[in-house]
Amino acid sequence: MITLKTTNKMITLKTLEQATAQQVYNHVATHLLTQNAKSIEGDACMYHTSQGLKCAAGCLIGNDEYSINMENTPWPYLDGIPVAHTQLIQSLQNLHDCSSVANWPDQLRKVAGWHNLNADVISQ
């Protein structure tokens, strides 16, 4: 069983540049493991789905910041996206898109290691 140490700070595009890499990682890891489902419609990964699911990058886009026009555009090429933490967010996005949900805890630990972050937000 996976338990999460929750964080109270909501990170959105407006606050992303002020957040630390550890805060971004904790926010996304908590989101993914709480949602426990991929953000997909049809065969396509989506930032936000019509059912309310959000991908690893999508959970950093507030509902008031989101536009359907963002879909099908890679994270670094979205208009108005802060450059802060781009590599970390892309690693987390790749995890969401390419790993099975069952493997997310292990993959999140790997991402933490690659980015010299603490994976304590995930505990088993």
pLDDT at 22 over 60: yes
Nearest CA among 25, 29, 26, 72 for reference residue 48: 72
More confident residue, 5 or 37: 37
Full-model pTM:
0.91
Q: Return the pLDDT at 26.
A: 97
49 domain-assigned = yes
Domain that residue 18 falls in: 3-118
Query: What is the percent of the chain where pLDDT is above 90?
Result: 87
101 domain-assigned = yes
Q: CB–CB of 37/53 below 8 Å?
A: yes
| Range 116-120 average pLDDT | 97
| Range 96-114 average pLDDT | 97
10 domain-assigned = yes
94 domain-assigned = yes
Q: Return the pLDDT at 59.
A: 98
Q: How many domains does the chain have?
A: 1
pLDDT per position as a tens digit, 36-66: 999 999 999 999 999 999 999 999 999 999 9
123 domain-assigned = no
Confidence class of residue 117 from pLDDT cuts 50, 70 and 90? Answer: very high
pLDDT at 3 over 80: no
124 domain-assigned = no
Sign of CA dihedral 25, 81, 64, 49: negative
pLDDT at 17 over 70: yes
Instruction: Output the CA–CA distances (angstroms, integers) from residue 95 to 9, 65, 69, 106, 112, in the order listed.
Output: 22, 23, 23, 10, 12
